[in-house]
Structure 1
Amino acid sequence: MSSPALIDLVDQLLAGSGPLPIVAAGDPVLRRPAEPVDDRLDRKRLDRLIEAMRETMLAAPGVGLAAPQVGLPLRLAVIEDAAEVSEEIRQARGRVPQPFRVLINPSYEPVGPGRAAFFEGCLSVPGWGAVVTRHANVRLRALDERGRAVDEVFTGWPARIVQHESDHLDGTLYLDRAELRSLSSREAMAGRWAQPTPAAAAEALGFELGDTQEA
């Protein structure tokens, strides 16, 4: 997308009030590799877009949001997780609070052999969740909102968030990596599969948890 067309699209989104509309699965923008941010947006527009994405993420509510999810083909994502969960879930999933972070042009690589399988959902696939096996630890490289280099290792649930949001920027949805026999409605996830791990769901629904290892 040319810069003028992108700027027009950003301006249209920011012209409204309240959270931005979230694009649902089936929209081509979610299936195309996004473009590097670079100098496509001036500082004022970028700052306003980041704030609008944060507002949208928190209102949804979610723990991450990528620019393609609001219809923008940009390699930009925001993450934030208060991690208001039980101690049992915290221990099982490695879910710890994650402060607000802006990820510009992010990429990740696995650190070590550890892998973990848990239910995931997505704001662009509302009402559903499925078990995804992901790297337990990843090294993230990106820029922050001020253009400063980020080179950091994420573990546990924060590592899962980083992978999920970075995947969006490559046109990948979590369902592409999921065990589809685990696909469950939000009601089933809350009523049947709310345990800290998906072991009970795997046994009842007939799927393997895959090659998971301790981090």
Structure 2
Amino acid sequence: MQLQKTQLLAWKILNHGKRFVNTSMTREKSFRKAYQEFWSPKPMNKPPYEHFTQIGDPVLRTKAAEVPEELIGSKEVEHIVEKMIKVLRKFDCVGVAAPQIGISLRIIVMEFREGLKDILPKPIYDARKMSTLPLTVVINPTLTVTNYEKHKHPEGCMSVRGYSAEVERFNSVLFKGKNLNCIENEVELSGWNARIAQHEMDHLDGKLYIDRMDSSTFICTCWETVNAKSGRVEIPFYK
């Protein structure tokens, strides 16, 4: 009985986020419905995606569900985490939440590579209190503020592609959760890494940085290029 329950939960996780369910096999569809479905676009891709979902997708505005305890170390959850890591590194990001690849579960992956120190201008790296963060996988995370001092810096999101705005975040947080081995971990984060954790936690609660931003600072990150190129600029959603 327990095995059957676990297999059912695993199936639900693997299929979580699929938005198109066909129940017409058991009854005849009306002509109107069949006609509408014929002209409706059919999804060519299913989550977990290898791209970032974009604002407007309902999955980004839904509070994510906790991963059942007995499935934390399962192949299904491992598959989702592997996809998250792949997308994180493919797009050169520092954080990704499961809803951003179409899976409404409470999973976060973060990484601030050492090499970024050589890419980013030193004044920015120092002013934003950036530091290396090894690959961190957190399942069913909790976040506790440990330093209520706030800092305001520009913040972007791969799910609001091509834009940024200044956002206030707490200086330090205690981040807890389980890894794929079902081991409880906790890490004290400060500066930019604390910002990453707060940003990704917002995703799990159906929130985006635009809900917290100083709206007067909201910009298109390539506005100067748009002018220089007479508007002939594309923002890619793939890589």
Interval of TM-score (by shorter of Structure 1 and Structure 2): 0.7 to 0.9
Q: 2:107 aligns with which of 56, 59, 76?
A: 76
Measure, in 2, the Cα distance between the counterparts of 1:13 and 1:126.
19
Q: Does 1:26 align with 2:91?
A: no
How big is the shift at 1:111?
Answer: 1.0
1: CA distance, partners of 2:91 / 2:104: 20
Q: Distance in 2 between matches of 1:63 and 1:142?
A: 18
* Deviation by residue 1:147-200 (Cα, 9 ceiling, x = unmatched): 111222100000000000111001110111100110011125999xxxxxxxxx
Q: CA, structure 1 residues 149+28, in 2 after alignment: closer, same or farther (shift >3 Å)?
A: same
Q: Aligned-pair distance for 1:21?
A: 2.8
Q: What residue is the counterpart of 2:232 in the other structure?
A: none
Kept in 2, the 8 Å contact 1:108–1:139? The answer is: yes
1:166 and 2:201 matched: yes
Question: Cα gap change, 1:77/1:189 in structure 2, threshold over 3 Å: closer, same or farther?
Answer: farther
Q: 1:109 to 1:9 in 2, by over 3 A?
A: closer
TM-score normalised per structure 1: 0.79
Aligned length: 186
Distance 1:190 1:133 in 2: 27
**Alpha-carbon spacing, 1:111–1:188, altered in 2? closer, same or farther (3 Å):** farther
Encode CA deviations 1:94-130: one digit per residue, 9 max, x unaligned.
Answer: 1111111101111212112311000011111000001
Task: Compute the TM-score of the two structures, normalised by the length of structure 2.
Answer: 0.71
**Aligned with 1:6 (options 2, 6, 13):** 13
SS at match of 2:63: coil
Q: State the secondary structure of the residue aligned to 1:30.
A: helix
CA distance in 2 between partners of 1:119 and 1:90 (Å): 13
Q: Is 2:156–2:165's contact at 8 Å kept on the other side of the alignment? A: yes
Q: What SS is found at the alignment partner of 2:105?
A: coil
Residue equivalent to 2:4: none
Partner of residue 229, structure 2: none
The residue type paired with residue 59 of structure 1 is K
- CA distance in 2 between counterparts of 1:75 and 1:93 reads 27
**Residue 63 in 1 paired to residue 94 in 2?**
yes
| Percentage identity across paired residues of the two chains | 31
Aligned mate of 2:216, from 181, 184, 202: 181
Q: 155-164 vs 83-92, which deviates more?
A: 83-92
SS at match of 2:217: strand
Query: Does the 8 A contact of 2:63 with 2:104 survive in 1?
Result: yes
Cα deviation for residue 9 of structure 1 reads 4.5
- Mapped partners of 2:151, 2:15: distance in 1: 41
Can you give the 5+ residue segments of structure 1 that lack an aligned partner in the other structure? 192-215
